[in-house]
Amino acid sequence: MKGVPRHCVVLEEHSEEWKSEFEITRTLLLEILDTNVLDIQHVGSTAIESIKAKPMLDVAVLVKSMDEVLYEKMKANGYTYYNEVAQGHHLFILRDENERSLQHVHCYPETACSSFEEQVRFRDFLRIHVEYAREYEKLKLELCEMYSDDRESYTAGKRAFFDKIAELALRENK
């Protein structure tokens, strides 16, 4: 993974290496978190083969509990904890020595499994519906042009699209 400079947005063509990177990361996270893991999924744009993405892995992990051992094990393996960034969603970031973000590991306790499932449904919906994936890519490119050095604004600009797809995906799965 090339990674992304801290606070910046860089988009690249999809790379098959991202799938392999996820498998390596999945294996490592299973070793780190052991029996606390309920599920691990490759999410985010690197998991959607038809669109450009930040060259940084997004991983969603559903855990039985967010106990102190989890924090200590993640820290011991190079991850920095960035607090609860959304209701029940805890973020760990792995950076290289140049402060480039390589991985965002989004941990969801079992009590927040609906948020975890929403991430997976979003990914799956865009994998199936290429027209929406292209719309998402177009939005991401526009936001990247406006906010190349402001990742928070870039992410906020995608919120309405995420909510729209989350709603469509939920209706489709009923």
Q: Quick one: which of 56, 44, 160 has its CA closest to 100?
A: 56
User: Taking residues 21-40, what's their average pLDDT?
Assistant: 96
Q: How many domains does the chain contain in total?
A: 1
pLDDT (tens digit per residue) in 153-169:
999 999 999 999 999 99
Mean pLDDT of the chain: 93
Full domain range(s) for residue 145: 4-172
| Sequence-separated (6 or more) residues with CB below 8 Å from residue 170 | 118, 121
| Model-wide pTM > 0.85 | yes
pLDDT (tens digit per residue) in 73-110:
999 999 999 887 776 779 999 998 888 999 999 999 99
Residue-level pLDDT at 85: 73
